[in-house]
């Protein structure tokens, strides 16, 4: 089944404790992206990647890191999480063509205490 | 100011009604997407538009590039259409900006 998977789905952590949210897709998509969703602000793009070893900042990259060492994986790293990073995070992927549909993962709900 | 504005924010309709959700944007775009977010949180892409009109079942999406405006229409609405509908624009090839969503409730 074609899908985007994220792990963990739910995470409670404390300020300053490094964490990684994994994202994996099995559709051989070139493009992958991370978003956060907050009440009243909607979805905002954090980082995106056009292909292996190619990443770029989105609208709200501060406090986050990403890497794209393999085509199927695009982990989101929070080196020192803070309470303002409490949010619902979505990973998405698509083929690189202009008319391609974006496929979203199920979301990761993060609470930083 | 958000680059993408949606209206209305909330919408309640009776089953069978015709529904329109509007999206206006203020920047140049390469494409506009309509997304559906179910109460459980999952997001599904409904349409990708760069011009004109697309139809899928009871859903119709239109875009007017000159006016920087798009509409999503739902004909013969059903309670299973209850969800949050999100407009997203794609800029510079790869950056996406999103509206804050329209929460739709369809009452039987």
**How many other CB atoms are found less than 10 A from the CB of residue B69?**
15
- Check CB contact under 8 Å for B95 and A41: no
- Check CB contact under 8 Å for B94 and A50: yes
Q: How far is B98 from chain A (nearest CA, A)?
A: 6
Beta bridge partners of B74: B19, B59
Assess B27–A contact: CB distance below 8 Å, yes or no. Answer: no
Nearby residues of B31 by Cβ (< 8 Å), 6 or more positions away: A98, A99, B48, B49, B50, B89, B90
The two tokens of residue B48 are 């990708």
pLDDT digits (tens, 9 = 90+) for B59-94: 999 999 999 999 999 999 999 999 999 999 998 767
Q: How far is B56 from chain A (nearest CA, A)?
A: 14
Closest by Cβ to B98, choosing from A42, A50, A100: A42
Determine the pLDDT at residue B101: 95
Handedness of CA B24, B4, B12, B41 (dihedral sign): positive
Determine the pLDDT at residue A14: 96
Find the chain A residues whose C-beta atoms sit closer than 8 A to any C-beta of B: 31, 33, 35, 40-45, 48, 50, 56, 58-59, 88, 90, 92, 98-104, 106-107
Determine the pLDDT at residue B93: 66
- pLDDT above 90 (res B55): yes
Closest by Cβ to B94, choosing from A35, A48, A101: A48
Residue-level pLDDT, tens digit, chain A, 113 residues: 889 999 999 999 999 999 999 999 999 999 999 999 999 899 999 999 999 999 999 999 999 999 999 999 999 999 999 999 999 999 999 988 766 889 999 999 999 99
Residues of B in contact with A50 (CB under 8 A): 94
- Check CB contact under 8 Å for B97 and A99: no
Closest by Cβ to B48, choosing from A45, A50, A99: A99
Instruction: Output the DSSP codes for A2-51.
Output: --EEEE-SEEEE-TT--EEEEEEESS--SEEEEEEEETTTEEEEEEEEEE
Q: What is the Cα–Cα distance from B63 to B72, expressed in whole angstroms?
A: 9
Task: Establish, for the pair of chains A and B, how many residue pairs have beta carbons separated by less than 8 Å.
Answer: 55
Give the position of tokens 């015709």: B18
């Amino acid at each position: 089944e074609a899908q985007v998977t994220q792990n963990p789905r739910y995470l409670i952590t404390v300020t300053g404790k490094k964490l990684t949210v994994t994202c994996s897709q099995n559709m051989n998509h070139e493009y992958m992206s991370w978003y956060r969703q907050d009440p009243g602000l909607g979805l905002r793009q954090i980082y995106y990647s056009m292909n292996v070893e190619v990443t770029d900042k989105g609208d709200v990259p501060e406090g986050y890191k990403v890497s794209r060492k393999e085509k199927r994986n695009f982990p989101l790293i929070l080196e020192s999480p803070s309470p303002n990073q409490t949010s619902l995070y979505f990973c998405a992927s698509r083929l690189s063509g202009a008319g391609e549909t974006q496929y979203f993962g199920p979301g990761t709900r993060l609470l930083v205490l | 100011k958000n680059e993408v504005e949606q209206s209305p924010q909330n919408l309640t309709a009776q089953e069978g009604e015709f529904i329109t959700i509007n999206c206006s944007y203020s920047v140049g775009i390469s494409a506009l997407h309509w997304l559906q977010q179910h109460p459980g949180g999952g997001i599904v892409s409904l349409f990708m538009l760069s011009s004109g009109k697309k139809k899928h079942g009871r859903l119709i999406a239109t875009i007017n590039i000159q006016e920087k405006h798009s509409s999503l229409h739902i004909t013969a609405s059903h309670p299973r259409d209850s969800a949050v509908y999100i407009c997203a624009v794609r800029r510079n090839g790869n950056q996406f900006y999103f509206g804050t969503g329209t929460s739709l409730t369809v009452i039987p």
